[in-house]
Amino acid sequence: MMTQLFLAIASILGGTSVAAGAFASHALREKLSDRALEIFETGARYQMYHALALLVVALLLLRTETNQSLLTASGIAFYCRSRNFFG
C-alpha cells in the first residue's frame, strides 16, 4: 500500500520539479532578479532530490520484507521535508 503511494508521490514531485525548473528558465527569467531565480531553481532541484530519494525508498520497500516500518518512516520524512522546500 505505502509502496504504491510513495511511487505516485515521487512521480508527482519529480514531474512538478521538472515543470517548475522549466517555468523558471523560460517564464520567470525576465521577471525575477538573478538571486530570486537562483533560489527558485534551488527549491526545484531539492524537490527533485527528494523525489528520487522517495523513489529509492519505494523500490526498497518492494525488495525487502524486514523492517518496513523504518523505510515507511523514511518515506514519510522525505515527503514532509520536500514540502518545506517547494510546497
The label of the residue with cell 531539492 reads 46
pLDDT tens digits, 34-74: 999 998 888 889 889 999 999 999 999 999 887 788 888 88
pLDDT tens digits, 16-26: 999 999 998 89
Report the alpha-carbon distance of residue 40 to residue 72 in Å, rounded: 29
Q: Are 16 and 58 in contact (CB under 8 A)?
A: no
Angle at alpha carbon of residue 69, lines to 53 and 7, rounded to 5°: 40
For residue 87, pLDDT beyond 60? no
Q: Is 29 helix (H, G, I), strand (E, B) or coil?
A: coil
